[in-house]
Amino acid sequence: MSGTDGKSGARPLRLGPRSAAALALITTVGVVAFGWPLLADGDSAVTDHAADAPWLFAALLPLLVAVVVATIADAGMDAKAVAMLGVLAAVGAALRPLGAGTAGLEPMFFLMVLSGRVLGPGFGFVLGAVTMFASALLTGGVGPWMPFQMLSMAWFTMGAGLLPGPERLRGRGELLMLAGYGAVAAFAYGTVMNLQGWVLLQGIGTGIAFQPGEPVHENLVRFAAYCLATSMGWDLGRAALTVVLTLTVGGTLLKALRRATRRANFEAQVTFEGPAPEAQVTAEGPGTVRRPTGP
């Protein structure tokens, strides 16, 4: 019996066709959930996210299960991988209260970058969503924004798993790439979450408020002004902390995560090699012995 070696065992869980289809489906649902108020008619009874959050959460849970099942089918993710998912989600949830959201300083983001890098996009997507859900329960941050935070963090972590593979880039270059991704993705996370909160600002006589029924391009201009005025400082703090932690302790944590995946032996390809052919002795008569003809 033979399996993967140490180096191959450190590779992320691959994204197979079923995993990709499940991620595409849940991403489509998420994009529609975030963006539909921009396309809603001005006379629509509901043009914000306050009422659709429970429906999104109800749809999100079975879709996350579908991603896990698809990853199991495509990549051989087993009970050990699911256990690691739980451990990393618990650690990420515990890290979130340390910053308490002060000036956007949230150390859980750097852990999600490194975890997504090591464990792949499918695993990373589920990890991001589960971590945000667990942290919301831990900090009492349950509200209509929670399913949107789960989706945003899932995309954030998945993106790290889609970066060029570790066989192409290692060492300092890999850390610089992850730090750069963490900085850009931290701003992207804040921007996407702003879209959820911004549509709640209706009927306010300012140039940055959401105006239901207005042309999309005009509302997007208001949205850009809203992001600059309200969240730029928070996103900058989140990005800066992610970069600093990635460059200082990222190398050590990457080694620890890769060592854990090797010990869990994710995606081990097990093959059975038959024993060497033994001599088959067949008596055909007195003094007659047939020798094996194979190698």
φ, ψ (nearest 5 deg) of residue 202: -125, 145
Total count of residues recorded for the chain: 295
Residue 114 lies in a domain: yes
Per-residue pLDDT band for 145 (boundaries 50, 70, 90) equals: confident
Residue 287 lies in a domain: no
* 150: CATH: 1.10.1760.20
Task: Provide mean pLDDT across the span 206-224.
Answer: 84
Q: What percent of the chain has pLDDT over 90?
A: 24
Structure confidence at residue 136 (pLDDT): 86
Question: Do 125 and 157 form a contact (C-beta atoms < 8 A)?
Answer: yes
Residue 80 lies in a domain: yes
Residue 78 lies in a domain: yes
pTM of the model: 0.78
Q: Compute the C-alpha angle 209/36/229, nearest 5°.
A: 25
φ, ψ (nearest 5 deg) of residue 289: -130, 130
Residue 283 lies in a domain: no
Structure confidence at residue 38 (pLDDT): 80
Question: Do 33 and 148 form a contact (C-beta atoms < 8 A)?
Answer: yes
Structure confidence at residue 5 (pLDDT): 39
Structure tokens that stand for 16 in this block: 């197979």
Q: Which residues pair with 289 in a beta bridge?
A: 283
Residue 292 lies in a domain: no
Q: In which domain, by residue range, is 177 found?
A: 6-264
Residue 138 lies in a domain: yes
238 vs 151: CA distance, rounded Å: 18
- Least confident segment among 98-102, 164-168, 174-178, 259-263: 98-102
- 61 versus 189: the higher-pLDDT residue is 189
Per-residue pLDDT of 80-113, as tens digits, reads 777 888 889 999 888 887 765 565 678 899 999 9
Residue 279 lies in a domain: no
Per-residue pLDDT of 13-25, as tens digits, reads 667 888 888 899 9
Structural domain count of the chain: 1
